[in-house]
Amino acid sequence: MFQLALILRHAGRSIAAGQEIRISYGPLSDGELLLTYGFVEGLEAPAVNPNNKAVLAESDVCDAAKVCLRSWRALGWHFPRHASDHDGQNEKASQDLHAFI
């Protein structure tokens, strides 16, 4: 059986005939718009949805960084164990990097 639903909205101001009316779906990402309303707007540049986001687990980011750094090392790109400066900051960073990978 077919059912018809009707939603009425009242404008908070006068609207002239032919005047553009806009609505907002709220601060939703493209994924949320697609899943909730079935559309995504502005896929062509330069339209970029400022509400797009990605939530990444820290462990996933660390694992990806390790893969990248190990690949660099396999290509012969070595990270120095000792820094050329004398303040110890680069040496500590280098040691931390080698411990990380």
Query: What does 1-40 look like in DSSP terms, one character per residue?
Result: -----------SS---TT--------S--HHHHHHHHS--
Interval 24-73: pLDDT, tens: 889 998 889 989 988 887 767 666 888 888 888 988 888 888 888 888 88
3-state SS class at 95: helix
What is the chain's percent helix, strand, coil content, to nearest 5? 35, 0, 65
**pTM of the entire predicted model:** 0.41
**Alpha carbons 33 and 41: distance in angstroms, whole number:** 9
Q: Which residue has the tokens 């960073």?
A: 93
